[in-house]
Structure 1
Amino acid sequence: MHALTKQLSEYMLEKYQLTNYILHESYYDRHKLNDQTVYSFETFWIPSGTSIIEEEDGMMLPKGTVQITIDPVTKRTTTLSLHGPTYLHSVPDDLRDPTTRIAWLESETDMIHGTHFMLEEENDTFFSYVSCHEGIRLSSGCFIHLTLTENGQLDELFLYGPHALDHRVNQEPFTLTLEDIDSLAKQQIKWFSYTKPGHQYAHTVVETIVTQEGSSLVPSKLDFTSSIEVNDVLSWTGLPSKMHERYPYQSGETVTANDVITQTEHPDFRPIQQETMNACRIVIKDIIQSEYPADSGQWMIRHIYRQHPYLAVTLSRAHPTSYVEQHRRVTIFLDEKTLHWISLTDDQELHTVFDSVSAPELEDEQQDIIFNALRPYLLLTPRYVFAASKGQYVLCGLLDSNHAYLPATNEVVLLRNL
């Protein structure tokens, strides 16, 4: 056992007093969070005297198994899952009382309620919290999901995302108003179809992030760290240069304790070299030509990005003439080392259901009518949004609405009622 693995295991053993447990399995993993590589140490502890039951479709953990995941650098717990009734040191027997629940979450997460995290959703046995900075939500931020049993005992605590104390926030007063973004808000009116007798479509204002300067902001696609925008139309004559067979999926490289110690960067952060992109384009052209032989000039490579151990390539129709073609996407996975073809996914069927619905043509006067009807129901909420170019969270406004306008009846209704 590596010295770091031993140290972290002993830390969990002491923190939760797992004296009647045996460490059955442990391994390291790594993730991309904002612009950083974050590691985790995942463990499964089984009660002494029990054993794993091997089955055809996998293994069954014995009752009382405890799953614990921690950040190996900060030692903060990110997963605490109990498989059956289990008593753990430092975990209250009943978490239904709000005061008890919040106090335990604060001690377990090293965050302060109302300052670093706030409630988003709750029912009798499930509580969802999101990270915030002084009461203002962060995107993307940390999610905390707490599940209880019917008698209030812990079932699972799960945290995902950048920890609130690690946030880099550019704090400033929120001065943006709806009047400042009237013109932009009107541009965000979009139609959507829904099924209800006598109706075909409705209008609403789509959720939009707006900077304090009054411009719309598309939050960074944090998973596409190495993404390259290509926008290259594929055309061909004759036969493909090579016929490609599909290869099976493969697992990624094993993450080791040494990777944690040296803080090795996630492979997806490595830039894609020009020669790799050129070779990738040739393979993609061959695959598209063999799969859609009559579609020369109809497909465009949009993005190439890493999703270790693969290169992912997204394509769309170059000259869309319908709803389906406009939104249709094809995603192809290639082995990042050999460029072997792994998979192709075409979401055409997902959008076909909407093909018979035509987008309404709106005159300026109709646009004004719809916007004026929806304007009293517009919401502008402060939101810190991570800006990858700045490496920190900046204060923006979240433009949204819970209502929709029905042109058939000139009504404004709640979206949840449609």
Structure 2
Amino acid sequence: MHIITTQLIEFILEKYQLNDYIFYESSYARHKINDQTVYSFETFWIPRGASVIEEEDGTMLPEGTVQITIDPVTKRTTTLSLHGPNSIHSVPDDLRDSTTRMAWIESETDMIHGTHFMLEEENDTFFSYVSCHEGIRLSPGCFIHLTLTENGQLDELFLYGPHPSDHHVNQEPFALTLEDIDSLAKQQIKWFSYTKPGHQDAHTVVETFVTQEGSILVPSKLDFTSSLDRNDILTWANSSTSILKRHPFQSAASVTAEDVIMQTEHPDFHPISQETVNACRNAIQKIVQNVYPSESGQWMIRHIYRQHPYLAVKLSRAHPTSYVDQQRRVTILLDEKTLDWISLTDDQELHTALASVTPPELEDHQQDIIFNALRPYLLLTPRYVFAASKGQYVLCGLLDSNHAYLPATNEVVLMRDL
């Protein structure tokens, strides 16, 4: 066992005083968060005297097994799952009291309630928190899920996403009002169909982030995976006479302690060379020619990106003539080293089904009626949204509504009632 692994196990053992447990196994994993590579160290601890059951389809760990995952660099806990009525050191026996619960979450996460995280949803046994900056939510950000047993004991604590204190936030007062964005809000009215009873028309205002200058901001994905945009139309003169074979899915190589020490970059961040692009294009053309032999010139490579241990290639119609053609996407996975064909996914059936329900064309006066009916129910909430062009979170207003307008009855109803 590597010395780093031993040190991390000893840290967990001491922090939670797992003297009544036996260490069973551990593993490292590597994740992409923002433009950074983040590692995790997962461990399983079995109660003394319990037995592991070996079955044909895998190993069954005994009731009471404790699962603990930490960041091997910061040593923050990201998963603490008890899998049974256990009691371990530093975890209160009853977390139903909000003061006790907040103090414990703060100690486990190194975050401050109201400053770094805030409550999003709760019931008797489940609590969901999201990251924030001084009480204003961040999008995207960190999620904290806490599940309790019926008697208030911890069942699972789970964290995912970037730590709030690591965010770069452009702090400013929130001054945006609904009156400032009236015309923009009207443009966000969207039609949808619901089936209670049958297929019925409804309209609502789609969730939209609006800057304080009054423009729409699309949240940037905090996943800077190597990705190349392409516009390569695939053509061929003759139908393929060869039969291509799909290769089985394969697992990525295990992440090691040496990777943690060296802080090895996630493979998905590695740039894709022009040589690889050319070879990838040739491989994709052979596959498309084989699967869609009569459709030369009708497919275009849109994006090539890494999805370790694969290269993912996304295609769309080169000359769309319908809604289905416009929305249809084909995704092909290739082995990133050999460029062997792994899989092909075509979402044509999904978009064909969606196209069977046609949204109505709205006249201007109809749109005014819908907007005026929904306007008293519009919500504008401050939200920090990550803007990739600025490399930081900027303060926006989240335009949204919990209500929908029903043209058949001229009613405004709660979305959850549909």
The equivalent of 1:318 in structure 2 is: 318
The equivalent of 1:158 in structure 2 is: 158
Paired with 1:292 and 1:151, the residues of 2 have a C-alpha distance of: 59
Letter in 1 for 2:64: G
Paired with 1:199 and 1:87, the residues of 2 have a C-alpha distance of: 51
Note if 1:308 corresponds to 2:308.
yes
Q: Say which SS state the counterpart of residue 367 (structure 1) adopts.
A: helix
Q: Kindly tell me: are residues 177 and 240 of structure 1, through their superposed partners in 2, closer, same or farther at Cα, counting changes over 3 Å?
A: farther
Paired with 1:295 and 1:159, the residues of 2 have a C-alpha distance of: 47
Q: Kindly tell me: are residues 309 and 397 of structure 1, through their superposed partners in 2, closer, same or farther at Cα, counting changes over 3 Å?
A: same
Q: Deviations over 1:377-417 (max 9, x none)?
A: 22221111222333322222212111222222333222112
Paired with 2:280 and 2:123, the residues of 1 have a C-alpha distance of: 48
Paired with 2:95 and 2:244, the residues of 1 have a C-alpha distance of: 56
Letter in 2 for 1:7: Q
Paired with 2:224 and 2:352, the residues of 1 have a C-alpha distance of: 27
Q: Deviations over 1:209-228 (max 9, x none)?
A: 22222221222233462122
Out of 191-200 and 47-56, give the one that drifted further.
Answer: 191-200
Deviation at 1:243, TM superposition (A): 4.7
Paired with 1:124 and 1:292, the residues of 2 have a C-alpha distance of: 54
Letter in 1 for 2:371: F
The equivalent of 1:97 in structure 2 is: 97
- State the identity %: 81
The equivalent of 1:297 in structure 2 is: 297
Deviation at 1:141, TM superposition (A): 0.8
Q: Kindly tell me: are residues 413 and 323 of structure 1, through their superposed partners in 2, closer, same or farther at Cα, counting changes over 3 Å?
A: farther
The equivalent of 2:141 in structure 1 is: 141
Out of 152-161 and 381-390, give the one that drifted further.
Answer: 381-390
Paired with 2:3 and 2:310, the residues of 1 have a C-alpha distance of: 32
**TM-score, with structure 2 as normaliser:** 0.94
Q: Kindly tell me: are residues 228 and 372 of structure 1, through their superposed partners in 2, closer, same or farther at Cα, counting changes over 3 Å?
A: farther
Superposed counterparts of 1:6-405, under 5 Å: 6-197=6-197, 200-223=200-223, 225-240=225-240, 243-405=243-405
Deviation at 1:13, TM superposition (A): 0.5
Q: Say which SS state the counterpart of residue 301 (structure 1) adopts.
A: strand
Are the aligned partners of 1:94 and 1:154 in contact in 2 as well (CA < 8 Å)? yes
| Aligned pairs, number | 418
Q: Say which SS state the counterpart of residue 195 (structure 2) adopts.
A: strand
Q: Kindly tell me: are residues 241 and 304 of structure 1, through their superposed partners in 2, closer, same or farther at Cα, counting changes over 3 Å?
A: farther
Q: Kindly tell me: are residues 372 and 235 of structure 1, through their superposed partners in 2, closer, same or farther at Cα, counting changes over 3 Å?
A: farther
Deviation at 1:302, TM superposition (A): 2.3
Paired with 1:257 and 1:129, the residues of 2 have a C-alpha distance of: 31
Are the aligned partners of 2:379 and 2:400 in contact in 1 as well (CA < 8 Å)? yes
Paired with 1:198 and 1:3, the residues of 2 have a C-alpha distance of: 63
**TM-score, with structure 1 as normaliser:** 0.94
Are the aligned partners of 1:227 and 1:304 in contact in 2 as well (CA < 8 Å)? yes
Q: Kindly tell me: are residues 13 and 328 of structure 1, through their superposed partners in 2, closer, same or farther at Cα, counting changes over 3 Å?
A: same
Q: Deviations over 1:241-262 (max 9, x none)?
A: 9653111111112211121122
Q: Say which SS state the counterpart of residue 365 (structure 1) adopts.
A: helix
Paired with 2:69 and 2:390, the residues of 1 have a C-alpha distance of: 30
Letter in 1 for 2:120: E
Letter in 2 for 1:60: M
Are the aligned partners of 1:332 and 1:342 in contact in 2 as well (CA < 8 Å)? yes
Deviation at 1:202, TM superposition (A): 1.8
Q: Say which SS state the counterpart of residue 83 (structure 1) adopts.
A: coil
Q: Kindly tell me: are residues 198 and 247 of structure 1, through their superposed partners in 2, closer, same or farther at Cα, counting changes over 3 Å?
A: closer
Gaps of 5+ in 2: none
Letter in 2 for 1:181: I
Letter in 1 for 2:314: T
Q: Kindly tell me: are residues 236 and 368 of structure 1, through their superposed partners in 2, closer, same or farther at Cα, counting changes over 3 Å?
A: farther
Root-mean-square deviation (Å): 2.0
Are the aligned partners of 1:35 and 1:388 in contact in 2 as well (CA < 8 Å)? no
The equivalent of 1:417 in structure 2 is: 417
